[in-house]
């Protein structure tokens, strides 16, 4: 069983837990003490608050936004502009206000690696929907839902996280949806420039240069971003990322707005290999040198070119149509040295050959949604419905190179792969005074095809698979206005994990797949209270339970259904504006003149266990007992910002079998970041220290070994606006 040494928390963690649980009850007691007339005057307002002295760090999504219904769902919007500029794609900082979202940190920034509530392997965020402005970012969201492309955080203004209910909006993945909302064009100037240049440890360099503006009925925004570093491993951990983007928006009439966007991305990452805790000849021991490299020639290269055409059309005063047609070409190229006589887990590879894999994805899709307001018994009701059409062609080739650094070699595998998907979805918010009921459903029709041109296993011949699935995903949400800007919410929703390409034909050498591998299904139940009952305090507290049947996992080298799991726990969040609290007590206005100091704390407490199958009684991978984040931020008029941010993760395992070499000890990492506007509206300085106390930790273990976390590192730079 998983060691529970981390169950004993210090008093610093107990206090905010009690506050997060008691504050909603105290608010209800206060509201109950009011006269009926007083209680009736309260209206639940949108909790997104802006302005000096407000609570800027996070908020739930509005009840209805665009063609999306959020009532009854657990949602969080993290405002990246409320904290100092993030100077790399440091998701530990970006997710500081999102309870429970686990980042399995990758030392060379090669891809996003997130998971939630122990629902599957975080590797490449396979079990979550990652989106950019509502458009999926995965290479193939059904057949190969790997996320190698991430928008630079410099281009992102906020991150939306939707838990249960996201599967109805965006697709079947079980771990929720992360939607990166990018910066908007400057509305009140024909041209404005935003330029950020940052330098840091290990030859880190990041440049982001943006031009945007509005002329008459046309607005535009374009940027170029370059990020590079030598990396912290001794060899072969360097990376370089280039991203260019251009977007135009045209209001062709008072009712219609068109957008056109093109994005180009390429990245080249060294992969320094895994480490081990074992000692001996030919082993890369973590304790002897946690930054040594066990592999010197492995590379991962990504190219992605995408385009989007969008229309937002107000058909009448009650009906809005939002449609986006999108497409991309995506290429994932990797070369991996064969281990030779070395131990594949943490050994120093000595193979004389390598394996070269190239996966291409050509995608076309249409996401069309309609929002309609209608009346029933004199009250406004809200309907949101839509369709997703999605098609991918994805050839895969694998070669054996004659040297460890070869980029081409002898063809070993040649597979044609394809995905064809049609989905229909609808939700309706029924309003009954303070009570909102939101039933919904999504119908997924997925056709996954694989056709071998060279037999992977000669004795089996050429394999041809056509896997068609029709899945209905029902859901139900509810919300109740309790007054005092506080509401209760509840949600029950289903999710679905389809078989991927790699679950039909294994891609890794030595991997096998069970012949009876079934798709996985999830059900999430959640209820909670949230609100901003006081001008200086916000909270969101919920309890949840998730069941995950026929969960995918790995036992040794075999990919199989590892059984059914149950997960339950608490999601808690509290935030206090201390200067605003003082102002409310003494009647002063110090927050307006001196700025505000916000103290925040959020946590997910989790209990997860397999209840059936070959790993019955084990703990699912990446399901720590707790994930906690806390810190202090200072903000004066968005001109001067300071943040001291802490991330605390309990010990857990990186596989479902809970094997000893996949154990991840608990870790605590603190970051200090700052931003100061030197010339108002024109010049700012940014600086920071990541992992300020130099915690020695790792958050990720793969089949080739331990991937060490980054040590203390510093950066500094300048931001120009004109």
Strands 537-555 and 64-65: unpaired
Which pLDDT band holds residue 461 (cuts at 50, 70, 90)?
confident
Distance CA 125, CA 386 (A): 25
Give the per-residue pLDDT at 462: 85
φ/ψ (deg, to 5) at 120: 100, 170
Residue 46 forms part of a structural domain: no
Q: What is the CATH number of the domain that holds 671?
A: 2.40.170.20
- Return the pLDDT at 341: 97
Within-domain flag for 127: yes
Residue 292, SS3 per DSSP? coil
Classify 550 as helix, strand or coil.
strand
How many Å apart are CA 222 and CA 79, to the nearest integer? Answer: 21
pLDDT confidence of residue 13: 40
Instruction: Provide the pLDDT for residue 10.
Output: 40
Residue 44 is assigned to a structural domain of this protein = no
Tell me the pLDDT band of 556, cut-offs 50, 70 and 90: low
421, two tokens: 């998907």
Please indicate whether residue 556 or residue 248 has the higher confidence score (pLDDT): 248
Q: Please report which confidence band the pLDDT of residue 469 belongs to, taking 50, 70 and 90 as the band edges.
A: confident
Q: What is the pLDDT of residue 568?
A: 93
pLDDT value of position 39 = 40
CA dihedral 106, 112, 116, 118 (to 10 degrees): -50
Are 543 and 528 in contact, with CB atoms under 8 Å apart? yes
Q: What is the pLDDT of residues 698-721, one digit of tens each?
A: 999 999 999 999 999 999 999 999
Q: Are 229 and 90 in contact (CB under 8 A)?
A: no
Higher pLDDT, 502 or 218: 218
According to the model, what pLDDT value does residue 71 have?
95
pLDDT at residue 26, as a whole number: 43
Summarised one tens digit per residue, pLDDT across range 192-223 is 999 999 999 999 999 999 999 999 999 999 99
Identify whether 119 is part of a domain.
yes
CA-based angle 618:162:472, to the nearest 5? Answer: 75
Taking the C-alpha atoms of residue 321 and residue 371, their distance in angstroms, rounded to an integer, is 6
Residue 29 has pLDDT above 60, yes or no: no
Residue 387: the pLDDT is 97
In this structure, is residue 51 part of a structural domain? no
8 Å CB contact between 575 and 54: no
Lowest-pLDDT choice from 347-356, 450-459, 640-649: 450-459
pLDDT at position 515, please?
Answer: 61
- Token readout for 341 is 């006589």
Q: Residue 357 pLDDT more than 70?
A: yes
Per-residue model confidence (pLDDT) at position 174: 84
What are residue 3's phi and psi, to 5 degrees? -55, 145
Looking at residues 47-60, what average pLDDT do you find? 54
pLDDT digits (tens, 9 = 90+) for 518-555: 778 889 999 999 999 998 999 999 999 999 887 776 66
Give dist(CA 89, CA 180) in Å, integer. 13
Predicted confidence (pLDDT) per residue in 303-331, tens digit:
999 999 999 999 999 999 999 999 999 99
Q: Give the residue from 425, 434, 322, 426 showing the smallest Cα distance to 382.
A: 426
Q: Which residues contact 401 (CB under 8 A, 6 or more apart)?
A: 335, 353, 354, 355, 356, 407, 408, 409
What band does 145 get if pLDDT is binned at 50, 70 and 90?
Answer: very high
Contact call for residues 139 and 173 (beta carbons, < 8 A)? no
Higher per-residue pLDDT: 394 or 612: 394
Between 512 and 440, residue with greater pLDDT? 440
Q: What value does the mean pLDDT take over residues 378-382? A: 94
Total domains, the chain: 1
Q: Residue 563 in contact with residue 551, Cβ under 8 Å? A: yes
Structure tokens at 290: 């946690």
| Per-residue confidence (pLDDT) for residue 558, from 0 to 100 | 67
Task: Kindly state the helix (H) or strand (E) to which residue 24 belongs, with its residue range.
Answer: helix 11-32
At 415, list the tokens: 């597979």
Q: Is 135 helix (H, G, I), strand (E, B) or coil?
A: strand
What is the average pLDDT across 439-460? Answer: 88
Backbone angles phi, psi at 424, to 5 degrees: -120, 140
- Which one has a higher pLDDT value, 38 or 220? 220
In a domain, 339, yes or no: yes
Cα dihedral 17/23/25/26 (nearest 10): 140
Task: Kindly write down the DSSP assignment for every residue of 347-368, as one continuous string.
Answer: B----S-EEEEEEEEEEEEEEE
Q: What is the pLDDT at residue 721?
A: 96
pLDDT band at 639 (very low <50, low <70, confident <90, very high): very high
pLDDT of 417 over the 90 cut: yes
Buried b / exposed e across 274-303, counting CB within 10 Å, b at 16+? bbbeeeeeebbbbeeebbbbbbbbbbbbbb
The answer to whether the CB of 157 falls within 8 A of the CB of 121 is no
* 47 in any annotated domain: no
Please compute the mean of the pLDDT values over residues 407-430 and round it to a whole number.
96
| Per-residue model confidence (pLDDT) at position 5 | 38
CA 486 to chain centre: 27
The pLDDT value recorded for residue 512 is: 66
Summary mean pLDDT of the chain: 89
Going through 216-284 in order, the beta strands assigned E by DSSP cover 218-229, 239-253, 256-271
Residue 495: pLDDT band by 50, 70, 90 thresholds?
confident
Share of the chain above pLDDT 70, in %: 89
Residue 617 has pLDDT above 90, yes or no: yes
End-to-end Cα distance, the chain? 58
The residues, ordered by sequence, that sit 6+ positions from 676 with a Cβ below 8 Å of its Cβ are 639, 640, 641, 684, 685
Classify residue 340 as left (phi > 0), alpha (psi -120 to 50) or beta.
left
Arithmetic mean of pLDDT, 31-37: 41
- Cα–Cα separations (whole angstroms), residue 582 to 576, 588, 599: 11, 8, 14
DSSP 610-646: EEESTTTTPPPTT--SEEEEEEEEEEETTTEEEEEEE
Judge whether 1 lies within some domain: no
Q: What's residue 620's pLDDT?
A: 92
CB 129 within 8 A of CB 147: no
Q: What is the pLDDT of residues 292-309, one digit of tens each?
A: 999 999 999 999 999 999
Instruction: Name, in order, each residue with C-beta under 8 angstroms of 448's C-beta and a sequence gap of 6 or more.
Output: 142, 143, 417, 418, 419, 465, 466, 467, 468, 469, 498, 499, 500, 501, 504
pTM here is 0.90
pLDDT at 25 over 60: no
Tens digit of pLDDT for each residue in 567-586?
999 999 999 999 999 999 99
Whole-number pLDDT of residue 345: 97
List, edge to edge, every strand of the sheet that includes 129-132.
Answer: 58-59, 75-79, 156-162, 177-182, 129-132, 135-136
Which whole number is the average pLDDT over 639-647? Answer: 96
Domain membership of residue 149 as a residue range = 6-39+58-721
Q: Confidence class of residue 57 from pLDDT cuts 50, 70 and 90?
A: low
Cα–Cα distance measured from residue 58 to residue 71, given in angstroms and rounded to the nearest whole number: 17
3-state SS assignment for residue 336: strand
pLDDT in tens, 231-244: 999 999 999 999 99
From 120-124, 426-430, 645-649, 650-654, the region with the lowest mean pLDDT: 120-124
């Amino acid at each position: 069983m998983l060691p529970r040494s981390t169950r004993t928390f210090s008093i610093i963690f107990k206090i905010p837990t009690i506050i997060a649980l008691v504050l909603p009850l105290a608010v209800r007691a206060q509201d109950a003490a009011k006269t009926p007339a007083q209680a009736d005057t309260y209206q639940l307002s949108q909790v997104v608050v802006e302005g000096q002295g407000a609570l800027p760090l996070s908020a739930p999504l509005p009840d209805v936004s665009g063609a999306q219904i959020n009532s009854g769902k657990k949602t969080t919007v993290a405002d990246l502009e409320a904290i100092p500029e993030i100077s790399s794609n440091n998701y530990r900082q970006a997710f500081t206000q999102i309870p429970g979202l686990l980042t399995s940190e990758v030392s060379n920034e090669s891809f996003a690696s997130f998971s939630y509530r122990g629902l599957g392997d975080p590797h490449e965020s396979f079990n979550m929907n990652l989106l950019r402005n509502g458009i999926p970012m995965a290479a193939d969201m059904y057949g190969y839902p790997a996320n190698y492309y991430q928008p630079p955080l410099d281009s992102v203004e906020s991150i939306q996280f939707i838990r249960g209910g996201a599967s109805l909006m965006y697709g079947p993945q079980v771990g929720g949806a992360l939607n990166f909302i990018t910066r908007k064009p400057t509305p009140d100037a024909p041209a404005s420039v935003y330029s950020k240049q940052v330098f840091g440890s290990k030859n880190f360099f990041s440049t982001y240069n943006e031009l945007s503006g509005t002329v008459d009925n046309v607005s535009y925004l374009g940027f170029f971003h370059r990020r590079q570093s030598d990396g912290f491993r001794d060899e072969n951990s360097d990376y370089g990322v280039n991203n260019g983007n251009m977007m135009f928006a045209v209001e062709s009439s008072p009712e219609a707005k068109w957008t056109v966007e093109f994005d180009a991305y390429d990245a080249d990452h060294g992969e320094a290999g895994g480490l081990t805790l074992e000692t001996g000849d030919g082993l890369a021991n973590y304790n002897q040198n946690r930054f040594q490299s066990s592999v010197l020639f492995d590379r991962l290269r990504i190219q992605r070119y995408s385009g989007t055409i969008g229309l937002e059309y107000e058909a009448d005063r009650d009906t809005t149509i939002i449609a986006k047609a999108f497409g991309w070409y995506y290429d994932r190229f990797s070369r991996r040295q064969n281990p030779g006589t070395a131990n594949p887990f943490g050994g120093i590879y000595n193979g004389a050959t390598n394996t070269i894999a190239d996966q291409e994805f050509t995608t076309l899709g249409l996401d069309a949604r309609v929002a309609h307001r209608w009346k029933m018994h004199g009250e406004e009701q809200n309907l949101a419905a839509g369709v997703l059409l999605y098609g991918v062609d994805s050839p895969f080739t694998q070669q054996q190179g004659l040297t460890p650094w070869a980029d081409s070699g002898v063809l070993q595998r040649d597979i044609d792969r394809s995905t064809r998907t049609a989905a229909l979805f609808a939700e309706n918010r029924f309003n009954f005074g303070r009570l909102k009921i939101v039933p919904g459903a999504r119908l997924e029709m997925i056709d996954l095809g694989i056709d071998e041109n060279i037999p992977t296993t000669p004795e089996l011949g050429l394999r041809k698979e056509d896997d068609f699935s029709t899945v209905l995903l029902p859901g139900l949400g509810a919300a109740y206005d309790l007054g005092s800007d506080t509401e209760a919410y509840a949600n029950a929703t289903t999710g679905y994990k389809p078989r991927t390409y790699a679950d039909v034909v294994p891609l890794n050498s030595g991997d096998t797949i069970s012949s009876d591998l079934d798709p996985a299904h999830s059900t999430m139940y959640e209820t909670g209270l949230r609100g901003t009952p006081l001008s200086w305090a916000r909270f969101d507290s919920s309890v949840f339970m998730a069941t995950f049947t026929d969960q995918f996992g790995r036992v040794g080298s075999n990919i199989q259904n590892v059984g059914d799991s149950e997960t339950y726990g608490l999601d808690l969040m509290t935030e206090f504006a201390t200067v605003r609290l003082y102002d409310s007590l003494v009647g002063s206005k110090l927050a307006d003149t001196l700025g505000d100091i916000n103290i925040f704390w959020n946590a997910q407490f989790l209990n997860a266990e397999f209840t059936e199958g070959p790993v019955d009684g084990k703990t699912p991978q990446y399901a720590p007992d707790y994930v906690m984040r806390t810190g202090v931020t200072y903000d004066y008029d968005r001109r001067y910002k300071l943040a001291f941010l802490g991330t605390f993760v309990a010990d857990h395992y990186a596989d479902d079998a809970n094997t000893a070499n996949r154990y991840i000890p608990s870790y605590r990492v603190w970051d200090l970041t700052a931003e100061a506007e030197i010339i108002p509206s024109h010049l700012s300085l940014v600086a920071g220290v990541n992992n300020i106390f130099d915690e020695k930790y790792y958050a990720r273990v793969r089949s080739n070994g331990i991937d060490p976390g980054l040590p203390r590192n510093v950066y500094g730079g300048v931001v120009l606006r004109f």
